[in-house]
Amino acid sequence: MRLHVEGLTYSYGEKDAVDQVSLQVERGEFVGLIGPNGSGKSTVLKNIYRGLTPDRGSIKLDGENLLTMPYKKSALKMAVVGQENEVPFDFLVEEIVAMGRSPHKKLFDIDNVHDKEIVHHALEHMGMAHMAKRSYLNLSGGEKQRVLIARAIAQESDFLILDEPTNHLDISYQMQIFDFIKRLNVTVLSAIHDLNLAALYCDRLYVLKNGKIVLQGTPEEVLTAEHIYEVYGVKSSVSIHPVTGKLAITYLPEALQNIA
């Protein structure tokens, strides 16, 4: 077991944003966290990547208590591509990606040839090598996101935490990024907005609603028309796609809802 979350509870104020969430991710799995806006996906992930500290519950990474692990050690094990991508100063693209190397280094170490190669390869993988000298703040949303994924790759940890990583991207980059992450063969826990993408790429899913996990299982077990209606209040038609062999979900406009 790579990640073991038990009874995770967190509140920003009075109401629990995340209430007794338990989940597991096995080595090599691609696990999706889905659920409506405000259901607690980002809060769960932030507690796991140490952006927030749980009120209650335990989080173990590779059998060790993550909450007391030195930050550098956890950064060597897990890389994060979060949802808010605010970078406070204007860095060059290659500088942002080089930040992924910092857990591998001591204070005041400068980047060596090996680091530079890793940074270059990560940018190349994301099709961003030609933009290495560009200023990060002037990039489009999609380009920024690809740079942040390159930074996570340069970090060379084999567990990726992603919070709706393709939200600002058009469909070709959405597919490209998920295809790329899948090919990395690392362990992944990702919040995913789009249920069709979740069905295409995830081995297992957890569904959050009002801060609680209400469903879990394979995409086939979780993404039934009944469940989608229960969680999102939307009628849909779910079938197995003849080419992908995966579930394909079509949302039904009101006029067609009585037929399905």
* Smallest distance, ligand ADP to C-beta of residue 42, A: 3
Nearer to Mg ion, 37 or 53 (CB): 37
Q: Are the beta carbons of 144 and 62 closer than 8 angstroms?
A: no
* Smallest distance, ligand ADP to C-beta of residue 81, A: 14
DSSP category for residue 51:
S
Interaction of residue 166 with Mg ion, rule CB under 5 A = no
* Cα distance between residue 33 and residue 16, in whole Å: 18
Window 39-68: residues binding Mg ion (CB under 5 A): 41-42
DSSP letters of 67-133?
GGS-HHHHHHHEEEE-S----SS--BHHHHHHGGGGGGS-TTPPP-HHHHHHHHHHHHHTT-GGGTT
**Segment interacting with Mg ion, rule: CB under 5 A, options 25-33, 34-42, 50-58, 228-236:** 34-42
Nearer to ligand ADP, 128 or 213 (CB): 213
* Smallest distance, ligand ADP to C-beta of residue 37, A: 5
Count the site residues for Mg ion by CB under 5 A: 2
Q: Are the beta carbons of 187 and 159 closer than 8 angstroms?
A: yes
Which does residue 17 bind out of ligand ADP, Mg ion, none, counting CB within 5 to 8 angstroms by kind? ligand ADP
Q: Are the beta carbons of 181 and 173 closer than 8 angstroms?
A: no
Nearer to Mg ion, 11 or 224 (CB): 11
Nearer to ligand ADP, 45 or 78 (CB): 45
Task: List interacting residues with ligand ADP (CB under 6 A).
Answer: 12, 17, 35, 37-43
Interior angle at CA 96, CA 53 and CA 198, nearest 5: 60
Assigned token pair, 38: 């405000």
Interior angle at CA 193, CA 226 and CA 20, nearest 5: 75
* Smallest distance, ligand ADP to C-beta of residue 211, A: 7
Residue 244: how many other CB atoms lie within 10 Å? 11
Nearer to ligand ADP, 176 or 210 (CB): 210
* Smallest distance, ligand ADP to C-beta of residue 231, A: 12
SS3 232: helix
* Smallest distance, Mg ion to C-beta of residue 68, A: 26
Nearer to Mg ion, 128 or 197 (CB): 197
Please report, as ranges, the residues that interact with Mg ion according to CB under 5 A.
Answer: 41-42
